[in-house]
Structure 1
Amino acid sequence: MKLAPLDITSNIDNTITKYTNVKSTKILRTLQLFIKMSVKIRAAYTNSISTSRIIFTCLAAVIVRYYLMLSKYQTVIANHVEVSTPLNSWKRVSEGLYLISKNINPYEGDVLHETPLSLYLYKNILLVFQDRIHLAFITFDVATAIILFFTTKKFNWDLFVEEENNKETFAKDAVECFLKPEKLFKSSYYVLLTYLFNPFTLFSCVGYSTTVFYNFYLAVMMFCMVHGISVICGIFLALAASVSFYPVVLILPVTMYFKYAIKSNFKIIINLFSFITTSVLIMLMCTDFGKDFSYIRNVYGCILTVPDLQPNIGLFWYFFTEMFEHFRELFIYAFQINNTILYLVPISLRFRKHPFLLTVAINFIITIFKSYPSVGDVGFVLSVVPSFPHLFPFSQQGFLVGTMLIISTSLAPILYYLWIYCNSANANFYFGVTLSFAVAQIFLLTDLLFSQVKRDYMLKYGKNRKIDGEEGILCLE
């Protein structure tokens, strides 16, 4: 009969307690920590997911995407406003590339909202894949999932090591809150599954949404962040910011990760230098070294001023359709501040010791409040949520959030069809669904953050809710 890992560690504790003295306690405790971690890691990896299973999962995702892209449903999916927006529509990219081939400036009209650098990358992708552009989207989408898998795997490993090193500082009755390696190390596979078979990311890929490439930039940035590769992290953060502008605020959580998780001020400086240098180079390339700035109005002007009021899953289009024109500038400032700097400082200060969670949270805020969101953006942030299995026991809104997401996702295309094609509904119906969709994401984000607060409290004070003789109150301050 094999001895369970918990029995092994308890025997180690008894043996060390029996044979230690005052002088050798520190050395033996370090040895104890090393042995206990080895036992737990071995037990976790015994039950971990095999490489063949990961490969099979990726192949299944490729087959599903390939089938849908060659089916009659591809056009239907690509034409839905939940999937394609003015900023990520492949039709607009194709038109822009055609205009360039005829030596016509694609930014003279109001059709194209991609940067010149993005057009150059798409042009080269077309040259590589030729008529099989669907293979390019599948390749980048599956690559994003694999990168997220290794990102969360590294994050969970670092989290486990940090907690093992600090266990002596935790409350004695907080054992049930400790990380369980057999669950923690499997969460990266659940991230892979969630991204590959999430309907949001699946439809984004099938619908030829350029959000697939944007998600790839974010995934590489997060991978380099957790692995401490500061130069490439800054480069891909600059690429993501050049596409959507909003990711520029991610420089703060990335900086905090290098400071509190990796503990390297040198990497912070290198990352900032890499980000600024790459941003300047991108601007020079896009403006043909200062000769043509016309793309700025079509790309960043469109993101910031919201001139195209085509319905989407965001909150901007309805407000700016209904309001009086002389209030437009006021609401533009209010909405954009809400999405960029309003929550950035307080949430960064509160969760500075949890920089990976902070990065995911700010990505969530960007997705909810950006001017032209799509289901591809939502799918990306939802796929990272399984990397926090240690927070799930403290969450309380899971059923409510899941129900709201399913219902609003199902009703959105139905109400849009009734509004646009059948004239039996109006904009209020569709906006009600998009508002419910945004509220569900907000509930999920706040529940995730509050779960971290609860867990921190339990680790520090245990089950006892009294602090200095008074009843403690948990809050997000």
Structure 2
Amino acid sequence: MDTQPAFPVLVCLRLLLAVLPLPGQDLLKHDHQLSSPLTSYLRLNEGLWLLENNINPYTGGAFHHSPLLLSLFSTIVPPLPIIWAVSDAVGAWALLRIWRARQGLSPQKGTRSNAENLIVSVYFLNPYLLLPSLALSTSTFENTLTLLALMFASEGKVSSALLAIAFTVHLTPSSILLLLPILMVLVSSPVSYLASPRPFHGNLKRIPILFGEFTLYWLVLVGAACIMAGGSWDWVRASWGASLALPDLTPNPGLWWYFFTEMFDHFRPFFLMVFSVHLVIYILPICIKFQHDPLYAAFLLVGVLGTFKAYLTLADPGLFLSMISLFPEVHGYLRHPIVTTLLHLHAALLLPLQHVLWVSEGRGNANFYYAASLVMGMAGGAGLVDACWAGMRIAVGDATVWAEEKVDGEKGKGKAIWWEVVQQ
């Protein structure tokens, strides 16, 4: 039965949170779990102040945002909380449109079902996404652009999808992991084939052409960023270079910062290469294994980023957890969802506690907070492995059910024939 959509109500509530002064919002802006050096609102404000005073923001080594964001907030709109609320609304809307495209529904006139209400509620009410947005972390914009790229790809809007993923890669280079599955969605279909795997049926000859179009958009953004930076290339080292060289070891829920804090300098380049390549090696195996459902492959790679990203915030695993609602067909095949949920709950309680003990109270050390980060890594890994298992198991499970039904049907048919013979 149709129900009233929850989307308008949740959008109004989110806008209300943006307008009303919230107690403790300044504390959220300083929280290392919600903002990284690459997404911090405080560092964005510092860059805006430096720009207003005719000082190059990229010379000090503390500002890591893209010149595009710097120009956006210095010339077009001020960095007000309502911008983050609108971004959340757009992200939830994109997630809903992806669901409709996957179900084969009209993008504009989808059914007002409980499933759609659940999808938008999971996005708006996910604390991993809500709290970074309230902290005004720019990771909110990255998540929204990722969902827009997947939405446009699911609806077959080629140029829009490639432009959205080009923006995403420009803001966070590690999002390049999502490029291949998005290209595969563009040349195939977002409809689920998890239960009936088959060889990739898209036009592979189009992928190089689409990659060339993506490269063109990306180069245009690079040129625009250089123009906005006054012709200087310092922003490349400060922005993109920070994701590869890890110059700022501010604590975060990720797995990189503590490892490189304890690393000897002469081993650092080698392990930076290992950690970076470790992210890339997941692309081909996942895309090949789930070639029959590239949207699910993109979902798994979002989970990889949400576990192993260099400067991780809670918004990264939050996007992965919210996207699970797009794939209800695999929910019954998850092996240990309760264990994964308890691990996330355990990490969600430990991270703020150890952060206060170490950073605010000074009663602990870095090992306390890193232990909580390891629990978060275990939670992300458990969810990722479970999603991979469920995506592969659903085909075997459905095939087993079909075979059992076929055997039962043949047995029933045989019994019916035997009974007719007895009656005769």
Bin of the TM-score, shorter chain as denominator length: 0.7 to 0.9
Contact 2:15 2:85 survives alignment (8 Å): yes
Contact 1:156 1:185 in 2 (8 A): no
Question: Of residues 231, 236, 243 in structure 2, which corresponds to 1:303?
Answer: 243
Aligned residues with identical type, % of pairs: 24
Between the aligned partners of 1:266 and 1:186, the Cα distance in structure 2 is 40
- Counterpart residue identity of residue 454, structure 1: R
Aligned mate of 1:148, from 72, 84, 95: 95
Q: Scaled by the length of structure 1, what TM-score is found? A: 0.77
Aligned position for 2:387: 448
Find the counterpart in structure 1 of residue 31 from structure 2.
Answer: 80
The answer to whether 1:433 aligns with 2:372 is yes
Which residue of structure 2 aligns with residue 162 of structure 1? none
Counterparts of 1:274-313 in structure 2, within 5 Å, are 274-288=213-227, 291-313=231-253
Q: 1:231 to 1:266 in 2, by over 3 A?
A: farther
Alignment of 1:70-469 (within 5 A): 70-126=21-77, 130=78, 133-157=80-104, 186-261=114-189, 263=202, 268=207, 271-288=210-227, 291-339=231-279, 341-462=280-401
Give the Cα separation in 2 of the matches to 1:185 and 1:455.
Answer: 24
- 1:264 is displaced (CA, Å) by 5.0
Q: Residues of 1 paired with 2:319 and 2:163: CA distance?
A: 20
CA deviation map 1:389-432 (0-9, x unaligned): 11111112111111110111111111111122333322112111
Residue identity matched to 1:139: V
Instruction: Work out the CA distance in 2 between the residues paired with 1:186 and 1:156.
Output: 14
In 1, the alpha carbon distance for the partners of 2:149 and 2:206 equals 14
Distance 2:304 2:84 in 1: 26
Aligned to 2:13: 60
Q: Does 411-420 or 349-358 show the bigger shift?
A: 411-420
CA-to-aligned-CA distance 1:153-195 (integer Å, 9 cap, x gap): 211337xxxxxxxxxxxxxxxxxxxxxxx9x964343221111
Corresponding residue SS for 1:252: helix
| 1: CA distance, partners of 2:354 / 2:267 | 28
Distance 2:233 2:17 in 1: 41
Match of 2:194 in 1: none
Partner letter of residue 440 of structure 1? A
Paired amino acid for 2:335: Q
Deviation, structure 1 residue 291: 3.8
Letter in 2 for 1:248: I
Asked whether the equivalents of residues 187 and 387 of structure 1 are also in contact (C-alpha less than 8 Å), the reply is no
CA contact (8 A) 1:258 1:264 kept: no
- For the residue of structure 2 that corresponds to 1:462, the secondary structure is helix
Question: What CA distance in whole angstroms lies between the structure 2 residues aligned with 1:250 and 1:415?
Answer: 33
Which amino acid in structure 2 is aligned with residue 249 of structure 1?
Answer: L
The offset of 1:461, in angstroms, is 4.2
Q: Distance in 2 between matches of 1:125 and 1:377?
A: 27
Letter in 1 for 2:83: A
8 Å Cα contact 1:188/1:386 also seen in 2: no
Assess if the C-alpha contact under 8 Å between 1:83 and 1:374 holds in 2.
yes
1:65·1:205 contact (CA, 8 Å) conserved in 2?
no
Q: 1:191–1:385: 8 Å Cα contact kept in structure 2?
A: no
Structure 1 counterpart of 2:253, one-letter code: I
Q: Which runs of 5+ in 1 are unaligned?
A: 1-46, 159-181, 466-477
Give a deviation string over 1:94-117, Cα, whole Å, max 9, x none. Answer: 111121122211111111101112
Instruction: Find the aligned partners of 1:186 and 1:387 in 2 and give their Cα distance.
Output: 13
Residues 357 and 265 (structure 1 numbering): CA distance in 2 closer, same or farther, change over 3 Å? same
State the alpha-carbon separation in 2 of the partners of residues 114 and 321 from structure 1: 23
What is the aligned partner in structure 2 of residue 8 from structure 1?
none
Distance, in Å, in 1 between the alignment partners of 2:80 and 2:76 is 8
* One-letter amino acid matched to 1:111: A
- Cross-structure match for 2:421: none
1:269: how far off? 5.2
Match of 1:468 in 2: none
Match of 1:261, SS state, is: coil
Question: Aligned partner of 1:94: which letter?
Answer: N
In the TM superposition, what is the alpha-carbon distance from 1:270 to its structure 2 partner?
Answer: 5.4
Residue type of the partner of 1:201? Answer: L
Query: What TM-score do you get using the length of structure 2 for normalisation?
Result: 0.86
TM superposition shift of 1:124: 3.8
Distance change >3 Å, CA 337–CA 265, structure 1 → 2: closer
